[in-house]
Structure 1
Amino acid sequence: MQPEDRRLFIGGQRSVRRTLVVRALLVLIMYAVVIIAFWLDRGGLEDKFDNEISFVDVVYFSAVTMTTVGYGDIVPVTPRARIIDSVLVTPIRLLAWLIFIGTAYQLVLQRLIEDFRMRRMQSKLENHVIVCGFGHSGACVAHELVVRGMEKRQILIVDVDRDVLQIAAEQGFIGILGNATQEETLQEAMLPSARALFVCTHRDDTNVLVVLTARSLASTVRIIARVEEAENEKLLRQSGADATILPSRIGGILMAGSLETTVLANHVMELISATGRIVLIDREVQTQEIGQMPADLDVLAVAVVRDGRELVTTDPDARLRPQDRLLVIRQATARS
């Protein structure tokens, strides 16, 4: 299997290209050791052609000896030369052949190995999160999810760039090489059993296609999509995205808020990040809170979410009901 055929990227899994390079270097090192050994003991060799042993003769003899060709034109004639061939060169010859055979065996069976790893990975995936695109936004999403308590092996990265996926795998994530606009790729990522799909490519048209494809495969999975241009936000919503994020808008607001001071921007970043000293969380209304006004609670509630609408805490209709959710600001839990 060629390196470009590899689709599954898992941390600790060495690429085929790297494996071939390492094995080739090992064979060259062993070849060099044999050359040095025979050159130092070249007096124990006999050339039946011209009775002279040059460096080229040693290189040639080392090659035919390691490959067990043995033409017989150059032979070891002294006891020491024969001991070198038996004790040093023979084990190296066997190891080199094992490397050749093992490499051929691996390349022939690599597709079967890849399919086995894919099936094993898929059998363990459930309630996972899929991140399409591991650029700056996708990487930030993945790492923020880890900070919020999700295991890296429950975060699956889909990208068309194998180098990016190799980086993701080295960081502990699982990667699948493929185009997320295609059903086959999302099916391999086990989308129907996923908890959520984050669409983080840098093109709105690609994001729309990913959302449409994903929604056709999984009608209930939560989809969060990145938006580059504000006019495309409505299109992504119509395509099936549950939430859309416009990074340029968020960045612009924070920059404008930093006109006089950086306190506002820093405070907002702490609120929305799990690494902040204070965090904004969305939680269910507890039984003992039903019937109360948000201002009467022992927590700092900033909004009530009811039937998809947000009510400010001072709204007379904000008295808590069983199906409501609360947006609450609280101190972050200390982490070790």
Structure 2
Amino acid sequence: MNHWWRRIVLSLVAVLVLVLVYAWLYQLGMATFEGETRTYADAIQTVIETLTTAGFGGDAGDWQSPQMNLFVVVMNLTGVLLVFLALPLIVVPLFQQALEDRPPESTELTDHIVICSYTPRSDVLAGELEAANVPYVFIDDDPELVVELNSEGTNAIYGELDQEETLQAANAADAHALVTDIDDETNAMVILTARELSSELRIVSVVEDEDVASYHRYAGADEIVRPRRVLGQSLATKATTTVSEELRDTIELSEELAVTELLVQEHSDLVGQTIPESGIRDRMGITVIGAWFNGEFVPVPGPENVIDGNTILLVAGRRDDLTELKSQTVSSLRHNPDRVVVGGYGVVGRTAVETLVSGGVSTCVVDIVDEAGVDVVGDVTDESVLEDAAVDDSRSIILTLDDDVTTIYATLVLKQVAPGVEIIARANETENIPKLYRAGAEYVLSLSTVTGRMLASILIEDEEILTPETQFELVRTTAPRIVGRSLGDVDLRARTGCTVVAVERNGDLLTDLGPEFVVSVDDMLIVAGSDEAINQFVTLAC
């Protein structure tokens, strides 16, 4: 809309300049060709009457010379031209834009997911729902955002989030579920309003403060999601697993099969080798599902992908074999393995500290707020504060800040102050994950990813996300579109970038899956890969 206002203002300025110039020429022409004197104000009046074809006043009889008659004709044609240009270029598009810029306030969807408020965390959930072909609609109280979302092909309506009329316009009573992810107080209001509207509606609430979870349940929420706590636990677990050769953070599928991600440290045995050179597949019998190189997931690492200190391997195999591989990812240069600095003491930071302490790891907390539990008060991007926290004498630092820009900057500072310290970082938005890796972080997990996966696992039927708290996604799902076809025929890895690591059939877990394996109608496939790869698999096979 601002674009159109600028166009209107510029058009009015251009017309004003034209009137002033014509008035000056008219005044000069009357004096030169007709010998008549006109004031500038009289000239302006005559020009306006001529351009608007409203009449010529008393001057029409004084135009005797061909020059003045020709000038008046030119002014008449200019007026007509302005009218014809204004309609198609300004007036009609302005009305069209006004209609387009009006945000929709209702939807006709049914059996859908109603999502109260659009946030960056919602992108992950929207992607999961789209891949599973589950309809959804956002409700937001920002009209410009709603218009923008609809222009991008995302269903969204405008309305006050906690008003019954808005939920009625979103067909909440006929929805499959309602998700509210605003803030703890507004979420409670939305829950109460939605429950008044329908006693059968499934309501899922995202909470930040764990203490309010009971209030949301009392208000009528069926499910409570605590992504910040899960994120804090995951980051802390990653810090403890990187200081030991012991294999801890695995997803046990059976006694013979586990899936895990392994962070390769600088100066470890694997650095400088490619996947084929490392012997992970041939010598250890471990399936390499993929690897992250500087934050980019590569489903089939080739000879051009060299393992370095920023590589994260996604692997599946027997626990004993994975333990052997884990020992090769740990640096031979041990550096203060029992101390971890935590930057930021919000919900995520507190949970990380609790997890570390329970695991016997000593911590040092840095935060700008002086409160109980904070050891060093100050900005984690300040070199003197980092020195006070003795970051250089620690094994890792976990950045749990609530602002991605600050986290990225803190990572850059840490790489200068303490280049040997491992950086494990929280990101709020998934788009900032590659930036953090480029800045020097060894491991990054986003709040958006954790939130979106936890919600998707609750909302999508026939699909269970087993790993909401990791960089990779492991799902348990049916695959009706490839029933009766072999894995080799479908070639899922090449087409989607993910790997079928196991299949549940008749109560048994099948792990020896060759290309000749044929998918049956009742099979539950366990599939691993990046978020994007899994979404492509769901679109193709489900």
Q: Deviations over 1:56-75 (max 9, x none)?
A: 66655544444444462666
Q: Deviations over 1:76-134 (max 9, x none)?
A: 94132122123222231455589998699889x97xx979x65xx634x2333322112
User: In structure 2, what is the equivalent of residue 313 of structure 1?
Assistant: none
User: How far apart, CA to CA, are the structure 2 residues paired with 1:252 and 1:278?
Assistant: 17
Q: Residues 92, 258 of structure 1: CA spacing in aligned structure 2 closer, same or farther, 3 A cutoff? A: same
Normalising by the residue count of structure 2, what TM-score does the alignment of the two structures yield?
Answer: 0.41
Aligned partners of 1:156 and 1:176 also within 8 Å: yes
- Give the one of 169, 180, 183 matched to 1:188: 169
- Give the one of 111, 115, 140 matched to 1:159: 140
User: In structure 1, what is the equivalent of residue 72 of structure 2?
Assistant: 82
User: In structure 2, what is the equivalent of residue 307 of structure 1?
Assistant: none
Question: Gaps spanning 5+ residues in structure 2: where?
Answer: 243-261, 264-311, 313-423, 425-442, 454-464, 484-502, 514-521, 538-542
1:127 counterpart = 2:111: yes
Q: Residues 38, 257 of structure 1: CA spacing in aligned structure 2 closer, same or farther, 3 A cutoff? A: farther
User: In structure 1, what is the equivalent of residue 380 of structure 2?
Assistant: none
1:230 counterpart = 2:216: no
**Could you tell me how far 1:210 is from its partner in structure 2?**
0.9
Aligned pairs (5 A) from 1:1-336 = 15=1, 19=4, 22-33=7-18, 35-36=20-21, 39=24, 43-44=28-29, 51-52=37-38, 54=40, 60-70=45-55, 72=57, 77=63, 78-93=68-83, 96=86, 122-123=107-108, 125-142=109-126, 145-146=129-130, 148=131, 150=133, 154-202=135-183, 204-259=184-239, 261=242, 263=263, 279-283=473-477, 291-294=506-509, 296=510, 328-331=526-529, 332=533
Q: Residues 169, 289 of structure 1: CA spacing in aligned structure 2 closer, same or farther, 3 A cutoff? A: closer
**What is the DSSP-based 3-state SS (H/G/I as helix, E as strand, rest coil) of the residue aligned with 1:122?**
coil
User: Which residue identity lines up with residue 162 of structure 2 in the other structure?
Assistant: T
User: Which residue identity lines up with residue 220 of structure 2 in the other structure?
Assistant: G
Q: Deviations over 1:190-240 (max 9, x none)?
A: 2123333221112x1211221222233244444321102101223323433
**Could you tell me how far 1:139 is from its partner in structure 2?**
4.8
**What is the DSSP-based 3-state SS (H/G/I as helix, E as strand, rest coil) of the residue aligned with 1:259?**
helix
User: How far apart, CA to CA, are the structure 2 residues paired with 1:73 and 1:100?
Assistant: 33
User: How far apart, CA to CA, are the structure 2 residues paired with 1:150 and 1:34?
Assistant: 59
Aligned partners of 1:134 and 1:158 also within 8 Å: yes
User: How far apart, CA to CA, are the structure 2 residues paired with 1:292 and 1:174?
Assistant: 40
Q: Tell me the C-alpha RMSD between the 2 structures.
A: 4.9
Pick the structure with more helix per residue.
Answer: 1
Q: Residues 251, 81 of structure 1: CA spacing in aligned structure 2 closer, same or farther, 3 A cutoff? A: same
**Could you tell me how far 1:255 is from its partner in structure 2?**
2.7
Aligned partners of 1:278 and 1:329 also within 8 Å: no
User: How far apart, CA to CA, are the structure 2 residues paired with 1:232 and 1:100?
Assistant: 53
- Structure number with greater CO (CA < 8 Å, separation at least 6) is 1
Question: Gaps spanning 5+ residues in structure 1: where?
Answer: 1-14, 300-321
User: How far apart, CA to CA, are the structure 2 residues paired with 1:250 and 1:57?
Assistant: 78
User: Which residue identity lines up with residue 215 of structure 2 in the other structure?
Assistant: L
Aligned residues: 283
Q: Residues 39, 170 of structure 1: CA spacing in aligned structure 2 closer, same or farther, 3 A cutoff? A: farther
The structure with more radius of gyration: 2
User: In structure 2, what is the equivalent of residue 309 of structure 1?
Assistant: none
User: How far apart, CA to CA, are the structure 1 residues paired with 2:107 and 2:31?
Assistant: 61
User: How far apart, CA to CA, are the structure 2 residues paired with 1:183 and 1:51?
Assistant: 71
Q: Residues 24, 205 of structure 1: CA spacing in aligned structure 2 closer, same or farther, 3 A cutoff? A: same
